[in-house]
């Protein structure tokens, strides 16, 4: 295969991904499913033409890391914080924390029942299945009404961050004790402090750079911070989230010292350009990640009866616990939130981060593939049940709001009262 053939394939994938996004908005079918199908199709085509199989085992985690950072930043840059948003943020944070913990623990017990392995090892293997993927959830809810969209964006982003923290906590603590939780608390406080410092530093840098290339420099620094933090087993994805929220909400910092040192005339223009660049970069990375993952999938594993049985059990745990929590503890409604709990990019990254000595037989890539496909299809079903509002948002299930005329144009004349009636 020549270099021009590779260029043609890569450009074709970007064009198809763009068309998939348009198709997804019309049909509510997540573009991720179409990208995975494209990867599977390319795999069959490659085998049929006799091309040498390519090993993507090292490329996939790199693409996933870049995609995760960009998708979280893209979602954060779209959220504007106001006093009335405090409630939805707290609700989504609580939902992501509680559902992550109880789902991971429940799946951990399920895995222990299957494998009879130590519970801690089972729990490590369960966390990838307990974590919601913002890479799939955020793009899929773009057309929901703001209240539902914001809940899903915050919940899935917090789930990514908390999932990484829980995974690292279990992986690097041989014995869980009170001191382990003290260390976790100190680590979280340290990350919040570093997040504040980096936000002010990057904003100061953004306003002082005179070179015409500066946004990729900011993104490179963010990725560097994330990678260095991961070397020390820190969940530095929270810095990415807070930086995006910080940039999109600087108007709330009405202080003289802030305006003197950090505010500058071109900030709004720079913010708009950064939003566009982040969105398009996330689109590009997401395209290649899910196509490559589809290329590496072994569909034959889905024909394995134990994989199907374990997958159905895992799905039942995920959605059963989610329905119970949203039904009794979240008063924001069930539809479509109960259906939007996809597993994807973050699940893949965590799965491949499990050390060889902690991996369990029977809880492999086949189960991961089944859960990713099943949760995406269930999310598609949930979104398809929603009706489109006139302004383009998705409203309540089966509610034809466009047929409602709040003020009829034709008013009936009032009949005078007759005493003989």
The structural domains of the chain, with segments of one domain joined by +, span 55-391
Q: Does 397 score more than 60 pLDDT?
A: no
55-391 belongs to which CATH class? mainly alpha
CA nearest 159: which of 92, 66, 245?
A: 92
What secondary structure does DSSP assign to 20-41, as a single string? HHHHHHHH---HHHHHHHHHHH
Q: Does 407 score more than 80 pLDDT?
A: no
Confidence of residue 178 (pLDDT cuts 50, 70, 90): confident
The predicted pLDDT at position 392 comes to 45
d(CA 351, CA 237): 17
Q: What is the largest CA-CA distance in the chain?
A: 97
Count CA atoms within 13 Å of residue 150 on its CB side. 19
Is the dihedral angle over the CA atoms 59, 65, 69, 74 positive or is it negative? positive
Lowest mean per-residue pLDDT among 171-185, 242-256, 346-360: 171-185
The predicted pLDDT at position 375 comes to 94
> What value does the mean pLDDT take over residues 123-137?
91
d(CA 380, CA 28): 6
Confidence of residue 333 (pLDDT cuts 50, 70, 90): low
Neighbours of 114 (CB within 10 A): 18
> What value does the mean pLDDT take over residues 29-34?
84
Q: What are phi and psi of 390, to 5 degrees?
A: -60, -35
What secondary structure does DSSP assign to 310-344, as a single string? HHHHHHHHHHHHHHHHHHHH-TT-STTTTT-----
The predicted pLDDT at position 398 comes to 39
**Mean pLDDT, all residues of the chain:** 83
Residue pointed to by tokens 């259906």: 339
The predicted pLDDT at position 172 comes to 80
d(CA 270, CA 277): 10
Confidence of residue 311 (pLDDT cuts 50, 70, 90): very high
d(CA 38, CA 16): 9
pTM above 0.85, yes or no: no
> What value does the mean pLDDT take over residues 196-203?
90
Confidence of residue 267 (pLDDT cuts 50, 70, 90): confident
Residue pointed to by tokens 């840098």: 205
> What value does the mean pLDDT take over residues 196-224?
89
- For 215, the token pair is 């946004």
Lowest mean per-residue pLDDT among 139-153, 206-220, 336-350: 139-153
d(CA 135, CA 347): 10
> What value does the mean pLDDT take over residues 334-347?
87
d(CA 228, CA 222): 10
- Stretch (H or E) spanning 395: strand 394-397
Model confidence over 70-106: pLDDT tens digits? 888 887 887 777 767 788 888 888 999 999 999 999 9
> At 298, is the secondary structure helix, strand, or coil?
coil
> What value does the mean pLDDT take over residues 329-333?
70
């Amino acid at each position: 295969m020549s270099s021009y053939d590779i260029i043609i394939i890569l450009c074709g994938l970007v064009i198809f991904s763009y068309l998939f996004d348009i198709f997804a908005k019309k049909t509510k079918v997540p573009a991720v499913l179409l990208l995975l199908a494209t990867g599977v199709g390319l795999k069959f085509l490659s085998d049929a033409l006799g091309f040498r199989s390519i090993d993507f085992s090292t490329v996939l985690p790199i693409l996933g890391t870049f995609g995760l950072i960009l998708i979280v930043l893209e979602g954060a840059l779209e959220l504007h914080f106001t006093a009335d948003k405090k409630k939805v943020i707290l609700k989504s944070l609580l939902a992501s924390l509680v559902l992550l913990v109880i789902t991971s623990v429940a799946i951990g017990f399920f895995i222990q029942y299957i494998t009879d392995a130590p519970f801690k090892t089972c729990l490590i293997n369960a966390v990838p299945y307990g974590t919601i993927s913002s890479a799939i959830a955020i793009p899929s809810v773009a057309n929901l009404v703001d209240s539902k969209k914001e809940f899903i964006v915050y919940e899935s982003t917090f789930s990514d961050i908390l999932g990484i923290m829980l995974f690292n906590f279990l992986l690097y603590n041989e014995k869980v004790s009170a001191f382990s939780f003290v260390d976790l608390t100190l680590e979280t406080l340290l990350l919040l402090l570093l997040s504040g410092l980096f936000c002010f530093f990057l904003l100061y840098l953004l306003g002082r750079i005179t070179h015409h290339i500066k946004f990729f420099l900011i993104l490179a620094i963010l990725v560097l911070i994330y990678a260095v933090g991961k070397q020390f087993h820190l969940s530095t994805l929270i810095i990415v989230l807070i930086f995006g929220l910080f940039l999109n909400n600087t108007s709330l910092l009405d202080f003289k010292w802030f305006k003197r040192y950090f505010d500058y005339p071109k900030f709004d223009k720079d913010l708009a350009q950064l939003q566009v660049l982040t969105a398009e970069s996330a689109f590009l990375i997401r395209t290649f990640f899910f196509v490559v993952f589809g290329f590496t999938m072994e569909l034959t594993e889905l024909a394995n009866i134990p994989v199907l049985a374990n997958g159905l059990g895992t799905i039942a745990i995920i959605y059963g616990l989610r329905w119970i929590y949203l039904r009794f503890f979240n008063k924001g409604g069930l539809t479509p939130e109960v259906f939007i709990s996809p597993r994807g990019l973050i699940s893949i990254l965590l799965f491949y981060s499990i050390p060889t000595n902690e991996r369990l037989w029977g809880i492999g890539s086949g189960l991961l593939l089944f859960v990713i496909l099943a949760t995406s299809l269930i999310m598609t079903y949930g979104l398809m049940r929603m009706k489109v509002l006139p302004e383009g948002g998705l409203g309540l299930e089966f509610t034809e709001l466009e047929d409602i005329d709040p003020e009829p144009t034709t008013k009936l004349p009032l009949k005078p009262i007759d005493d003989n009636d």
